[in-house]
Amino acid sequence: MHIVVTGGAGFIGANFVRRTVATRPDVRITVLDALTYAANEASLDEVRERIDFVKGSIADPAVVDEVVAGADAVVNFAADTHNDNSLSDPWPFVDTNIRGTAVLLDAVRRHDVRLHHISTDEVFGDLPLDAPERFTEDTPYRPSSPYSASKASSDHLVRAWVRSFDVRATISNCSNNYGPYQHVEKFIPRQITNILSGERPKLYGAGANVRDWIHVDDHNDAVWTILDRGEIGETYLIGADGERSNREVLRTLLEVMGRPADDFDVVPDRAGHDLRYAIDSSRLRRELGWQPTHADLDAGLRDTVEWYRRNRAWWEPGKAGVEAAYARRETAR
C-alpha cells in the first residue's frame, strides 16, 4: 500500500508517519510538507530511510498532482493550526486550509485516490462549562476563530466533493492532541519548556477553559482504524474522555516537574477563547471497534515531560522566537 501523508513533518503527521513505519512495514509512505515554521524535518530523522520526502505545499496543484498520482490513499494532516496566529493574520489559514484542501480534492478526484481528511473539534465552537453535552457527528458547525472557520470550510469542501464528484473520502474531527514532537507554541509543550528554561509558565485568564485531551498515538491509531474500516463519505469523532481545565493541566505539569502549584503568571485572555471542548467518540468505538490505550492523562503528561527533558536539541532552537511572538501579542492586547 502506498500512502501520501500531507503535513507529515508537523506534530500529528510526523507521529503518524513514525507509528506507521513501526507498525505497518508493508506500507510505503510519501510525505508532502511545506516545512513552514511549525514543521520540523528532524522529527522524521529516525525514519528517513523508510520514507520518500517531498517539500511542497498542498496549495500547489503541480506538486500535489505529481505526489498523488499512483498513491492508494492520502491522509491530509497539512494545516495551519495555531489560533493565536490566525487572529493576527488569517490569510495563511485561508490559503492552506481552504485552498489547499480544494487543490488536494481535485487531485484525488482526478486520480481516483482514497482521501482521509484530518479536522478538529473546534469547528463545532464551544460548550458551556460544567455541562453534560459533548460534540457528536450531528453537532452543527459554529466556528469562532479564523483557524476553526478555515477548518470548517475544508470539511464542507470534502463533503461537497464526495457528493458531487464521488470522491472516496472520510473525515475525522479530533480533540486536543498532546505528546512528543509538538511545537512549543502549543499549550502543553509551552508550559513544559518554560519550566525547563527556568521561566514561569503562562496561563490565559482564569484558566477555566476545558480541553478534551488525547495522546497523539491514540489519535493516529484511530485514523488507521478509519482507513481500514471506515465508511466512505462518513465523519468520525475521535476523543479519549480527557477533559481537563487549562489550570488543572498546568498544575499537573508543575507537580510532575517539582514546582509549586501557584508558580505561574496569568496573562490577558485571547479574543474569542472557546470555553469547553468535549468529544463523544462512541460511534467510532461502537462501529469500528477503536479504543484509546493512553487513558491515563497524568501518566501521558509525565511521559511527555520526560520527552521534552530528553530532547532539548529538538525544541530549544525555536523557543526564543515563540516567546517573543507571544510577548508581542500580549503587549498588543
Chain segment 32-41, per-residue pLDDT in tens:
999 999 999 9
Q: Is 39 inside any structural domain?
A: yes
Residue 87 has pLDDT above 90, yes or no: no
CA distance 119 to 307: 26
Average pLDDT over residues 21-30: 97
The total number of structural domains in the chain stands at: 1
Say if residues 275 and 129 touch (Cβ distance below 8 Å): yes
Residue 329 has pLDDT above 80, yes or no: no
The angle at the Cα of 95, spanning 38 to 150, to the nearest 5 degrees, equals 85
From the candidates 33, 80, 126, 147, which is the catalytic residue? 147
Query: What are phi and psi for residue 100, nearest 5 degrees?
Result: -60, -40
Burial 175-187 (b: 16+ CB within 10 A, else e): bbbbbbbbbbbbb
- Residue 333's pLDDT band (boundaries 50, 70, 90)? low
Q: Is 258 inside any structural domain?
A: no
Average pLDDT over residues 120-130: 95
Write down the pLDDT at residue 108.
98
Average pLDDT over residues 289-308: 97
Q: Is the pTM for the entire model greater than 0.85?
A: yes
- What counts of helices (H) and strands (E) characterise the chain? 12, 12
Q: Is 324 inside any structural domain?
A: no
Say if residues 112 and 258 touch (Cβ distance below 8 Å): no
Residue 75 is part of which domain span?
Answer: 2-178+215-238
Q: Is 291 inside any structural domain?
A: no
CA distance 152 to 233: 16
Q: Please classify residue 193 by burial: count the beta carbons closer than 10 Å to its beta carbon, then call 0-12 exposed, 13-18 middle and 19+ buried.
A: buried
Q: Is 99 inside any structural domain?
A: yes
CA distance 202 to 219: 27
Angle of the 297-310 helix axis to the 312-332 helix axis, nearest 10 = 110
Average pLDDT over residues 125-129: 95
C-alpha cell at 138: 450531528
User: What are the Cα distances from residue 50, in Å, to 19, 200, 230, 308?
Assistant: 12, 40, 26, 25
Q: Is 328 inside any structural domain?
A: no
CATH number for the domain spanning 67: value is 3.40.50.720
CA distance 325 to 169: 37
CA distance 44 to 310: 17
Query: What are phi and psi for residue 78, nearest 5 degrees?
Result: -65, 125
CA distance 44 to 5: 12
121 is catalytic: yes
CA distance 194 to 327: 13
The HSE-up count of residue 101 (CA atoms within 13 Å, CB side) is 27
Write down the pLDDT at residue 185.
94
Q: Is 222 inside any structural domain?
A: yes
Residue 99 has pLDDT above 70, yes or no: yes
Residue 252 has pLDDT above 70, yes or no: yes
From the candidates 33, 80, 121, 243, which is the catalytic residue? 121
CA distance 268 to 329: 10
CA distance 307 to 305: 5
Q: Is 115 inside any structural domain?
A: yes
Q: Please classify residue 324 by burial: count the beta carbons closer than 10 Å to its beta carbon, then call 0-12 exposed, 13-18 middle and 19+ buried.
A: exposed
Name residue, grid cell 457527528.
137
Say if residues 246 and 204 touch (Cβ distance below 8 Å): yes
Mean pLDDT estimate for the chain: 96
From the candidates 33, 122, 185, 212, which is the catalytic residue? 122
212 is catalytic: no
Beta strands (DSSP E) in 50-201 are 51-55, 73-76, 114-120, 169-174, 176-178
